[in-house]
Amino acid sequence: MGLFDDLTSKAGEMLGGLGGGQSNIISAVMNLLGGGQFNGISGLVDTFKEKGLGNIVSSWVGTGENLPISGAQVKKVFGEDKINQFAADAGIPEGEAQNKIAEVLPGIVDKLTPGGNIPEGNIVSKGLDFLKSL
């Protein structure tokens, strides 16, 4: 197992039991977020706001309880092509992808924004820094 696999496994365990064999889900989410579409977490937040989902993403960034998101809302934000790429990266059926993203994304964004602060810069770099801190 490589370093990134080990780190994503630890992150998955922190984020609700996605460790072990499902660490590829965490890795695929990081690829989804780091694909250039969002330009960091601030870009992701802006996209959620543009799609009318600002209250949801703000709860993940903030220090309170994380609001849930549905698979349909995930698809609204990311689009079908990105969802299908996530499925391929994660090794799961396309029909399960948007719900899996909805399951793990709130926790990942929450962990990448400690204290309610949005980090500047590349989200993948920030994610790797977070994973290394576990």
> At residue 121, does pLDDT exceed 70?
no
> At residue 2, does pLDDT exceed 50?
no
What amino acid is encoded at 21 in this protein? G
Distance, in Å, from the CA atom of 66 to the CA atom of 56, rounded to the nearest integer, reads: 8
Domains of the chain by start residue, with CATH: 3-132 (1.10.10.690)
Biggest distance spanned by C-alpha atoms of the chain: 40
Q: What is the pLDDT of residue 86?
A: 93
Of the candidates 121, 133, 132, the one whose C-alpha atom is nearest the C-alpha of residue 33 is 121
pTM of the predicted structure, to 2 decimals: 0.76
pLDDT tens-place string over residues 6-28: 444 445 554 454 444 467 888 88
What amino acid is encoded at 63 in this protein? T
